[in-house]
Amino acid sequence: MSTRHMPLLALALTLMVAGSAQADTPLGRLFFTPAERSAMDRHEIPAAQTPPPQVNGIVRRNDGRATVWVNGEARQDVPASGQQARVIDPRGVPVWRKVGDPLDDDAPPAMHIKRHR
């Protein structure tokens, strides 16, 4: 290799080493509150970041078992009765929620579609 390419090679190696050192360092927790950082240390999700449960739909089979969609996830372990399901709110309290109930009191309710025979 010629001597005129040596500075370019040294620069490339320096940039590779610096890039790999930065890649190993995580971004950090700078933009979180002290309470959120301590919850991260305990591997918990802070209550402020836990979305309130919303019942998106209920499908009841002929055998009586039901599949309940909570926050877009199909669940079979959630008790359901009619158009309501019992879910756990962010405070840990079980509550009965209707299908399509808004997450906050100011939002309009979702459209309900009922099937009639």
Q: 60-104: per-residue pLDDT in tens?
A: 988 888 999 988 889 999 899 888 999 988 778 888 999 888 766
Contact 88, 94 (CB under 8 A): yes
Pairwise CA distance, residues 113 & 115, whole Å: 7
Structural domain of 76: 51-98
Tell me the three state secondary structure of residue 85.
strand
Contact 53, 71 (CB under 8 A): yes
**Residue 117 neighbours by CB under 8 Å, 6+ apart:** none
Number of folded domains in the chain? 1
Residue 26 lies in a domain: no
pTM over 0.75: no
In the predicted model, is pLDDT for residue 20 greater than 70? no
Percentage of the chain with pLDDT > 90? Answer: 10
Between the alpha carbon of residue 13 and those of residues 1, 2, 8, 17, 59, the distances in Å are: 15, 17, 9, 6, 60
Pairwise CA distance, residues 50 & 39, whole Å: 13
Pairwise CA distance, residues 46 & 90, whole Å: 9
Which amino acid is it at 7?
A: P
